[in-house]
Structure 1
Amino acid sequence: MSAQLQHLPAYLQRLDFERAPPPDLDTLRELQRRHTAVFAFETIATLLQAPVPVDLPSLQRKLLHEGRGGYCYELNRMFLALLQDLGFQARGLTGRVVMGGPEDAITARTHLVVLVTIDGVEYLADVGFGGMVPTAPLALHERGEQATAHEPYRLDTRGDSYVLRARSREDWQALYVFDAQLQSEIDYVVGNWYVSTHPQSPFRGQLFVARTGPGLRKTLNGGSFAVHRVGAASERIDLPDAAAVMAVLRDEFELRLPDDPQLPAAIERRLQVQAAERAAAQSAA
């Protein structure tokens, strides 16, 4: 397969590889661990209701040269191209996110993941699922708990589909449902268009950010910033204004913010909506 990434050396350098590693399982594990720690999941573009291009030149410019992160159609699309350029047998799959709702709900196919085959064994690789992203590849046909550096995960079957679950305390939470249906570039374009533009998209006008680290996860939901450490209680603070949110984006998530004068106002609107939602919940309690 011909190379897809014009900036492959810069990509590998960001992931702290001096040279192209071999396409084996140890490399895949290390790539996934490093990717989730280096490239933040973030929805600044959809907060601003700005276009989100997912062609590879645009993604390379945004992630490698503009100091940004992205969501699944950006992070996993780049990761797929990286794996293919390194010689992995890899292709994209799409799934239906069910986290927080009934796991049998027929939601839109709005999540892009990667299927990697190594020595005849298929693995799910995902670097773009926000605060619950798996930090290690998961054997597709293995049942039961699979360990990662963070939470344990499990893959169950349901007909021709798979359900990815993560263990949260003592419960197994369903995250998304996917199958092995062949996907093409146009499927990524259509799914991304829905996520970035549809009024019912869960990302439209929202600010979600996540990044992993050794034994921890950092998340931001609007003005709610949290640090989740393995085996410990989460630490959470409510940020008071847009300036505080932007400082966390820079300092905690190491993002270079876009030079958009609308960003502070967009963050303030999101904080006001969150405050109103909290007040309504307290009144109803």
Structure 2
Amino acid sequence: MTTTADFDLDAYLTRIGFTGQRTPTRATLDAIAAAHTATIPFENLDPVLGVPNRLDLASLQAKLVDGGRGGYCFEHGLLLRTALLTLGYRVTALAGRVLWGTDDPHAITGRTHMLLLVDLGDERRIIDTGFGGMTLTGTLRLELDTVQSTPLEPFRLIELDGDWALQAQIGEDRWRTTYRFDLQPQHPIDYEPANWYLSTWPQSRFVTMLMAARATTDRRYALAGRQLTVHHADGTAERRVLTGFDEFRTVLERDLLIDTSGLTGLRAAFDRLD
């Protein structure tokens, strides 16, 4: 299953709760970004449980659409790319270098992130539903040095050593860079080596540390190991450590919307978490 003809668009749109016009417009694109991020979480449960992520379309549909699960950037990006192509959008897949959490703002990290560029004719927009706790809940014009609003934080794109860089405004005057990217088109096969590395290398952060996140119109849920943080749109945050497995599973199901019924080894994985 590698073409849009194999894709169940109805099932995807039902999964994200989208009932709007199926026309390739800016309004539809923004609505899909918001609906997707609110319903399909970011999560790396499979790599933590020793199950490599698969990027073929059949696996993505089975897991993220039919299985009530989430995934990480390649899974989100490839699923969304197929949906947008099916709707008639002109989509270019891109690769990013993650800078979130690094000390060097000019660091050259690996191309381990996926994002999409959509050409609407009169403008080009970035859509990215798979960047964990700071994922975009809207879309951004491909335009430098312009503060752009989203349903949650403001974002902007800046020039960084010849690349584009995406920054999020944290607080009133603090800008943090999430990742840098260029406009070199990527094909689905280009993500396979990085996906295999991230989901199977024993020292990969996606193998050693459980992460899950979901964004709504007024808050972000972020789970890192046993620590749950809820960031509210007004700038306040709640943090707590999950001490019991039942509480942990409830958070996965209720707050992060992850169907855990088909997962084996989840309790053992919880016991290993810091």
Same fold (TM over 0.5): yes
Match of 2:138 in 1: 136
Letter in 2 for 1:121: E
After superposition, where does 1:113-124 map in structure 2 within 5 Å?
113-124=115-126
Matches within 5 A, 1:25-104: 25-101=26-102, 102-104=104-106
Distance 1:18 1:260 in 2: 30
Q: Which has the higher Rg, Structure 1 or Structure 2?
A: 1
Name the counterpart of 1:198.
Answer: 201
Identity %: 36
Aligned CA distance change for structure 1 residues 142 and 5 (closer, same or farther; 3 Å): farther
Deviation at 1:253, TM superposition (A): 1.4
Taking the TM superposition and a 5 Å limit, the aligned residue runs for 1:176-215 are: 176-215=179-218
Higher mean displacement: 180-189 or 194-203: 194-203
Are the equivalent residues in 2 in contact too, given 1:98–1:107 (CA < 8 A)? yes
Letter aligned with residue 182 of structure 1: P
Q: Is the Cα contact below 8 Å between 1:219 and 1:227 reproduced in 2?
A: yes
Contact 1:110 1:194 in 2 (8 A): no
Deviations 1:136-166 (A, max 9, x none): 1111124221111101101001243111100
Paired with 2:263 and 2:26, the residues of 1 have a C-alpha distance of: 41
Contact 2:98 2:109 in 1 (8 A): yes
RMSD: 1.5
Task: Provide TM-score, normalisation by structure 1.
Answer: 0.90
Task: State the Cα distance separating 1:6 from its structure 2 match.
Answer: 2.6
Give 1:231's aligned amino acid.
Answer: D
Give the C-alpha shift of residue 4 in structure 1: 4.3
Long gaps (5+) in structure 1:
275-285
**SS, match of residue 83 in structure 2:** helix
User: Gaps (5+ residues) in structure 2?
Assistant: none
Shift of 1:5: 4.4
Residue identity matched to 1:51: P
Matched positions, count: 270
| Residue 154 in structure 1 maps to residue 156 in structure 2 | yes
| Equivalent in the alignment of 1:10 | 11
Could you report, residue by residue, the CA deviation over 1:163-196 in whole angstroms, capped at 9, with x for unpaired residues?
Answer: 1100111210010011011212221111211211
| 1:261–1:58 Cα change, 3 Å | closer
How far the C-alpha of 1:264 sits from its partner, in A, is: 0.7
In the aligned structure 1, how far is the partner of 2:5 from the partner of 2:269? 35
| Equivalent-residue separation in structure 2 for 1:221 and 1:106 (angstroms) | 25
Match of 1:243? Answer: 246
* Matched-pair contact (CA < 8 Å) for 1:195–1:201: yes
Give 1:224's aligned residue. 227
- What displacement does 1:201 show? 2.3
Deviations 1:220-264 (Å, cap 9, x if unpaired)? 111111211111310111100323211110111121115343211
1:267 matched to which residue of 2? Answer: 270
